[in-house]
Amino acid sequence: MSIDHQHSLEALAADVGRLLRTTGQRLATAESCTGGWVGQCLTAVAGSSVWFERGFITYSNAAKNELLDVTHETLASRGAVSEATAAEMAQGALRHSHADWALAITGIAGPTGGSPGRPVGTVCFAWAATDGRTITETRHFDGDRQSIRAQAVAHALRGVVQHAAHFAA
């Protein structure tokens, strides 16, 4: 990841910050394959403590279950990389924070771990509000591990801005 790419991600994070500051809302994150990269981008923005409430890095299934209440049933029947798991991650982040809404990311960054049904580059996202609304999406990104993770971070941040109308106070 070049410095220019990181600056682009941090510029997206600044857009998120302006939006949240304007609406008086706070965000929590639940990350798996991105390992806290969204949180890093958000906290790179000066003043983010006003609108970034907390982040969860739940790489293992046990962490997803213990910290975010993702059910064993969902993990067993749908898998860690599924929209159902992403939704439960985002909803759990809301329950275990003081945020108004949350985003979640879970995926397969590679270079191994893919399957015919879920190839490397499959990433599931969720954006959830405290009123129970949840939006989920699955994307397929190309490239190496670093590129897939960077694309996932960018997509998650863009999703905050894109779905902002759904989460307006």
Segment 92-147, tens digit of pLDDT: 999 999 999 999 999 999 999 999 989 999 999 999 999 889 999 999 999 999 99
- Cα separation, 122 vs 154, whole angstroms: 15
**Is the backbone peptide bond immediately before 111 cis, with ω within 30 degrees of 0?**
yes
pTM for this prediction: 0.95
> Which pLDDT score, from 0 to 100, does residue 3 have?
76
Domain with 71, as residue range(s), is: 3-167
Share of the chain above pLDDT 90, in %: 89
Domain containing residue 131: CATH number: 3.90.950.20
**Domain count of the fold of the chain:** 1
With beta carbons less than 8 A apart as the criterion, state whether 125 and 155 touch: yes
